[in-house]
Amino acid sequence: MKYIVCEEPGKFLLKEKEVPIRKAGEALLKINKVGICGTDLHAYGGNQAFFTYPRILGHELSAEVIEIESNPKGIKAGDKVVVMPYVSCGKCIACRNGKTNCCTNIKVLGIHTDGGMQEQIAVPSDILLLANELSDNERAIVEPLAIGAHAIRRANIIEDEFVVVIGCGPIGIGIMKLAQIKGAKVIAVDVNEQRLKYVKESIGISYIVNTSNNPIDQISEITNGELATAVFDASGSKFAIETGPSYMSHGGRFVLVGLSKGDLTYNHPAIHAKETTLMCSRNATVEDFEHVINVLDQFPTESFITHNVPFTEMIGHFDSWVDPKTGVIKATVDF
């Protein structure tokens, strides 16, 4: 079977290998579609944390079951599934407390272990979610939206509060829509005018703020001087993460969803005065995946996926997906 491996930063190769043999407790899957994530882009660029080479990328997966044992979920051969790509140990303190998303021994497909950029893959059966009712496009975007759902749940977003989301990439867009579904009033913040236009027209975000034009003043005006009770960074930009608390009200929450590779610096009196709640949000749990599957009919999947190519043509297109000027929001690969 064919697969694509990232041998080193900036270098993909299309190769062939034997079809994997399913072990006990695993399912053998045929990959139908893979979503390209910011993590994949960073890995290709050589600036992804927790990453080693060579690596088969791909953790946003739509798949069909080829072989599987009898299982509590009733998933059988021929079923279409979403893959929750976080393989947790089930034994560490995080897992014992229901936080499998930050397992101390976590192995994320496509990051710590090989992912789905291959025609077939064997994975633990317990990371599959039955999703026959969804299309391949929908199944492939459940994972990035689940990351947003987890962040929303972490921050305990409530109806009518003002929420700022920094970054109009796929994760940020997911946070915006899911916060909107919760009833929050969402303010989108980005420097890319094209993406701000997209979230306004396709996601229905009422308030957009370009960071090149006094963003604090704009957010203050929108919120009648009070600023936002919750601020999410979905950019991973060091500057954006360090600036984020200035968009937050006194008593607010600042949620780091995007991942910056280096150190961060804050003025302690400034964040102390607001009694800032600073939290990180990593990956997602099965509850988040199930929530996304239940509300996915409210998400504009077809406009969200802006670029799509066949598997064998991916290498020739990947460099363009790294460049925001191409208008890419979510790229996907068909098998």
Distance between CA atoms of residues 215 and 191, nearest Å: 10
Superfamily of domain 148-280: NAD(P)-binding Rossmann-like Domain (3.40.50.720)
Distance between CA atoms of residues 126 and 25, nearest Å: 8
The amino acid occupying position 309 is: V
Which of 27-36, 163-172, 280-289, 319-328 is predicted least confidently? 319-328
pLDDT (tens digit per residue) in 101-141: 999 999 999 999 999 999 999 999 999 999 999 999 999 99
Q: Does pLDDT of 88 surpass 70?
A: yes
CA-closest candidate to residue 64, choices 82, 45, 41: 82
pLDDT (average), residues 74-88: 98
Q: Give this prediction's pTM.
A: 0.95
Q: What dihedral do alpha carbons 157, 162, 167, 172 form, nearest 10°?
A: 30
Cβ pair 99, 304 in contact under 8 A: no
From the candidate CATH numbers 3.50.50.60, 3.30.470.10, 3.20.20.450, 3.90.180.10, the one assigned to the domain spanning 2-132+300-334: 3.90.180.10
pLDDT (average), residues 160-176: 98
pLDDT (tens digit per residue) in 63-73: 999 999 999 99
286-295 vs 170-181: helix crossing angle, rounded to 10: 70
Q: Where are the domains of the chain?
A: 2-132+300-334, 148-280
pLDDT (tens digit per residue) in 27-40: 999 999 999 998 89
Q: Does pLDDT of 262 surpass 90?
A: no
